[in-house]
Amino acid sequence: MLVRPATVGDLRAVAEIQQKIHPCTAQSVESRERAFLTVNERSRARYVVAEFDGRVAGYASAMLDHTTSEPGAAVLSVGVHPRHRRRGAGTALLADAEAHLRSVGAVTVRVWRPDEQGSAVFAERHGYRRRRSRRFSVTDPRQAPPAAAAPDGMCLVDLDEAGRDAVYTFDRVAPLDEPGDRPAGVTAAYTSSDATNTPMFVVNDRLGYQPAATEHPEVRQA
């Protein structure tokens, strides 16, 4: 097994692994490439992959969370293809990611994991403790109910028309009271909310979304 820094050329294999193990959070190759190439320097991000016989079998990402005011907060992600599990890849990837976070001053590390026994055991074995949960809901956009009419006094506009500053302000303010620790060809659209965010689930139900999966954050000191 070889653990090495990831390259853009690895992202297709990483996307395929993510789709296999946790489709609710899967991203397209193009989306991953964009994130990989434009990551904020303040994140001090590190991306690595594990190889068996020259084939990517797993991946890890680790970075400081520059979106929060919590000093030393960091996020970490590890994924291994099911057919390559129990061969040490996950442990090696996690060790690399945690060592990097310690070297850049991380204090608290948070990792989100799918709601399945293997991931839970792995996280607990490495000292992570479960916090709140996040529920994913899914709908087929081809069968979504008709959009409701806008209320009196409100009109719907494109994001370009609203303006960058207005969109930024909305995106910054809208999540503040959310609970938590701090086109053609598309057949499934996912959304996620804290597992206690009942008002959001009411909205999702009205829009045709159904429960799809649950994800749990595991936290430990760096």
Give the domain ranges of the chain: 2-133, 136-213
Q: What is the H or E stretch that residue 125 is in?
A: helix 117-125
Q: Which parts of the chain have pLDDT scores under 70?
A: 178-186
Architecture of domain 2-133: 3-Layer(aba) Sandwich (3.40)
Q: Alpha-carbon distance 143 to 70, whole Å?
A: 41
Do the strands 108-114 and 73-80 form a parallel or antiparallel pair, or are they unpaired? parallel
Global confidence as pTM: 0.72
Closest CA to 18 of 88, 63, 80: 80
What is residue 125's predicted lDDT score, i.e. its pLDDT? 93
Q: Where are the beta strands (DSSP E) in 65-182?
A: 73-80, 108-114, 129-130, 134-139
What is residue 207's predicted lDDT score, i.e. its pLDDT? 81
What is residue 180's predicted lDDT score, i.e. its pLDDT? 62
What is residue 94's predicted lDDT score, i.e. its pLDDT? 97
